Each structure stands twice: as C-alpha cells, then as structure tokens.
Amino acid sequence: MGIIEKLRLDGKKALVTGGARGIGYSIATALAEAGADVAIVDMDEAAAKEAAEKIAGATGKKAIALKADVAKKPEVDGMIESVLKEFGRLDTAFCNAGICKNIPAEEMSLEDWQKVIDINLTGVFLTAQAAGKVMIKQGGGSIICTASMSAHIVNVPQPQCSYNASKAGVVQLVKSLAVEWALKNVRVNSISPGYIGTDLTLSSPVLKPFIEKWNAMAPLKRLGRPDELQAMAVYLAGDTSAFTTGGDFIIDGAFTCI
C-alpha cells in the first residue's frame, strides 16, 4: 500500500467542534474528503446543518450536525452520546471550538476572562476527556486540538492576554494527555495556526485594521488559508501518524521565527 492509500480515512468516524465555519469547516471537509464520516458540532445549529449538508453533498460521506456548548459538561457528554448513536464509534475528535476577546488586560472583566478560558481551555479538556474515554474503551483513537501560534508568542498589536494564555494551556494539556494515554493507544496532538484568513477574520471590523500590520510583519507577507491546515489534520487523524503524539505543529508561515 502506497503512502496516499495509507493516508485515507475510509471507515473512520470523526467529530469537529466549531465545525460550522472557518478552520473547523475546512478540517471537517478534509476529513470527509479523505473518507471519514463527520459530525459537525457548533453552537449555531442552523449553520452546522448547512455545513453538514454541503460536506455530505460534496463528498458522499455521512455528515451530521449537532449543537453543543463545549464549556458545559452535560452538553459535551450528550454530544458524544449522539455521535456514538449515529456512528457506533469515534476515531478522531478535532477540538477546535474557540473564541477571542481583544480587551486590554487592565480593563478585562473576570467574566470576559472566564468566558475565554471556559471555551478555549476547559472546553478542549471536556471534549478530549469525553472522547478519550470512548477511545480507550474501543482500543484507540486520535484527538487533535486547535491551539495557536499565540501559545508561543504574544500577538501584537491586539491585546488578548486571555486568548494567549488559553492557547498556551491547550499545548501543555495536549502534552499531558498524550503521556497519560500513550499506552492506551490514544494519540493527542495540537495544530497551532498563525493568522488565518477565514471569512470571519476578513470581514470583522475589529480585526480588519490589524491585518495590514500582521502582513507587514509576516515573512510570507500574507495570511494563511484554512485549507493550508488540512493536510496536517488528515495526517494526524489517520493510522500513518501512529508514532506521533504529544506534538504541537505550528503552521504559521514562519511568523514565530521572527
């Protein structure tokens, strides 16, 4: 069997949180194109349904839509139960849901701080924990978490201490889970994107003024595209990456090198 065939995900079952748009949608599409059935999880149920229909129509794979708040354990547990009911197993969990608040540290309320941590870090833990329990019972699986280059550098000029701290936490959480679950055949890795030109980023009146500054600083002088993260996600989801766990894969156009 050649390397291309080995990278296929035929027969595998996956879920993607925050999968209705942006990076999550792009990754869910790639997993389905590689052969996996996919559950699209999002707070926006209508958007999740639309995304699932598009993916199913384009790939011929089964794609379902689920609504869940990853910061709430009962909803995460219900999400996993729904996936198992529909698919019978779970091979890949892509923990992607996240938010960012650009607020100066001295002005940030505890509520704003907690909201970011609850979704970006606690939500990743709850999703990984629930998925990990299933994977341990079934004999293995792959968990992939969206971290960020913000785990390694302080982004400027936007003030986002809560986001940066949450993503640094994700990287260390991934390493911890990878070590704990290594002998249980559950692999845990993270992808750390740089600035990615999602529809939301490109249309956001808050972020638009920053884009020119980001591009001026970037070695490649541009934003990344969501599809430029797809190959790494497919690799980590499949059996070809059996010796790859505890890694944080920075895909940032060399931004963190400067």
Q: What is the pLDDT of residues 197-251, one digit of tens each?
A: 998 788 888 788 899 999 999 999 999 999 999 999 999 999 999 999 999 999 9
Percentage of residues of the chain with pLDDT beyond 90: 93
In the block, which residue shows the tokens 């980023």? 201
Contact 57, 32 (CB under 8 A): no
Between strands 186-193 and 141-146, the pairing is parallel
- Return the structure tokens found at 88: 């019978």
Tens-binned pLDDT, residue by residue, of the chain (258 aa):
788 888 999 999 999 999 999 999 999 999 999 999 999 999 999 999 999 999 999 999 999 999 999 999 999 999 999 999 999 999 999 999 999 999 999 999 999 999 999 999 999 999 999 999 999 999 999 999 999 999 999 999 999 999 999 999 999 999 999 999 999 999 999 999 999 999 878 888 878 889 999 999 999 999 999 999 999 999 999 999 999 999 999 999 999 999
Q: Which helix (H) or strand (E) holds 145?
A: strand 141-146
Active site residue 195: no
User: What is the structure's pLDDT at 19?
Assistant: 97
- Return the structure tokens found at 252: 């940032």
Per the residue annotation, which of 67, 167, 192, 241 is the catalytic one? Answer: 167
Rg (C-alpha) for the chain, rounded Å, is 17
In the block, which residue shows the tokens 């156009």? 253
Per the residue annotation, which of 12, 25, 163, 241 is the catalytic one? Answer: 163
Question: Which of 153, 152, 147, 157 is closest to 216 using CA atoms?
Answer: 157
What is the rounded CA–CA span in Å between residue 77 and residue 90? 13
Per the residue annotation, which of 26, 142, 148, 192 is the catalytic one? Answer: 148
Contacts of 137 (CB under 8 A, 6+ apart): none
Contacts of 107 (CB under 8 A, 6+ apart): none
pTM recorded for the entire structure:
0.97
Active site residue 163: yes
Helix (H, G, I), strand (E, B) or coil at 20: coil
User: What is the structure's pLDDT at 201?
Assistant: 84
Contact 109, 31 (CB under 8 A): no
Active site residue 167: yes
Contact 71, 122 (CB under 8 A): yes
